[in-house]
Structure 1
Amino acid sequence: MAAIGYHPGERAAQAFAGETHRAEHLGRSIRDTIPPVAADFLAQRQLFVVGAEDRSGRMWTTVLAGEPGFLAVPDEHTVTVAAVPHPEDPLRAVLDGSEGGPTQVGTIALEPATRRRMRLNGLLDGRTSDGWVLRAEQVFSNCPKYIQKRRPVPASPTTRPGPARRSAELTTAQRLRVGTADTFFVATAGPDGRADASHRGGFPGFVETLSPTTLRWREYPGNGAYMTLGNVEVNPCAGLVLPDWESGDLLLLTGEAHTDWQEQAVTFTLTEAVELPGALPMRWSEPEFSPANPPLG
């Protein structure tokens, strides 16, 4: 049950935010098994967000996509994932087994068309001929807040992945992309190394680019668990991914995050950016913005 309970960083973040009571209520719904309704949900998904550390201890987040069925649940403890990242994705070697060793993984299964999502965190537990196996340790649903509705474009082009572009700071084009994004995903890890992946959404401009190496966003009210900010309290390492829904490109960022509790905002300092052209095989429609998105400013 230790994997299900909150760690001291999460407890501290919940207290800072005045959400201890709500967090206790949510905690009772966190499982270490995959119920049938969650298994059915996973089997129909086409997007899967994955966060983990690389072997140097840096956090990364990436996005995998496939036709319904690329995620499967053979038993209540196990998810098989028939997909691996772009060849130059920092998590490719972690997930395809070439770096070896156990890996804690945080994931989100997302259905943008209905604003549904669920979190499933656990341990990379082996590889298959076309992917990898995840053993569940934390399973729970999230609220639909701040998810922009999108639908897969039926005639999605198939684009071969292009070579990665790496840098220690954001280019002007990348800063524009961050500043106009309505969605990103963030991965963090707790004091015991357990990884978690989370969603952030808002109107374009909700993420500010303060400099080529510094981002900032306000933390909007969520489910009250404060898993991301709780992890940051004890381990500032964080990984972000910003998908380009139209082109299939991914922009991965790794660095450190720090919370300003007075402003309810997070500042992220970049260590490395990796842009992956054509990383996703699918394309998505223009967004229908969430009615929960707060106004900017």
Structure 2
Amino acid sequence: MNSVSTAFRNKGGLCRRSHGRRALSVTTGLTLMVLVFGAAKALAQWPQMVRSADGTAISCEVHGNGEPTLVFVHGWNCDARYWRAQVPYFAKRHRLVILDLAGHGHSAATRTRYSMRAFGEDVCAVTTAAGAARVILIGHSMGGSVIAEAARLMPDRVVGLIGVDTLENIEYPVTQEDADKMVVPFRKDFKAEIRRFVGEMISPRTDGRLREWILADMSAAPPEVAIGAMEEMLKQYISGEAAKIFEQIRVPVISVNGDLWPVNYDANRRHMASYEAIVLKDADHFLMMNRPEAFNRSLDKAIRMLTDTR
């Protein structure tokens, strides 16, 4: 992967698409089950819509109990489904909040600008709606930039940040020329470029069915949302804001990463209150999906590292 792709990969992530917005159907059988086992309890587990700061409807789910609350934020072109291997594992001990960012999954796509700041407001809105007072924010790929924005919005609630295959180098140099060259192929043939771009992030050892699911899913994303979010994220690296924002967030940061790209510890520690990385050998960008057992153990370790010191 070229250097510009590497810069974006540190922020981009998984998927959303039109088929991800299918309406939920309620069958007669399910209705009877709700009546028998208690409507309030059943409905409490259903996805909910929460209004973000600008009024955009954000889809979210709450699972489990226990503090701190873990808020899972997907990456570029992705949605909450990419965390499905984590829900049963972590909901045993924690309350989980999982959301679709605006323009992704089941959330509304009504914005004209898909900035990292606005995505951070989505995370803040669902965290507030869930009543979470002590929070660890977990963000995959582009979600690493999003959770930094969210932490800036709610400094009194965030215990720490965990990046998932992201934040390898928050000083990574990106010029406007780099950004322009990167975006052009997506404008010319969005689906083909998604498959090429994302395909470079998937290990050849990954199950072929999962690989094709990821590629098909991400290439079905709305191009206007995807390209807009990419441009907004790259702006943060061009301006240096990707690093500067961490100087305002005085909480520990940990990454759980694959080993496709090196981690620049010194660059990160120049701006973060503290930074550590857990690197999974032979893992790729979608390690929470194609290496779920090893990833869950590593994420659990990162959570303990944050909570043992707070």
Give the TM-score category using the shorter length.
under 0.3
TM-score (norm 2): 0.26
Between Structure 1 and Structure 2, the one with more helix by share is 2
Between Structure 1 and Structure 2, the one with more strand by share is 1
Specify the structure having the higher radius of gyration (Cα): 2
TM-score (norm 1): 0.27
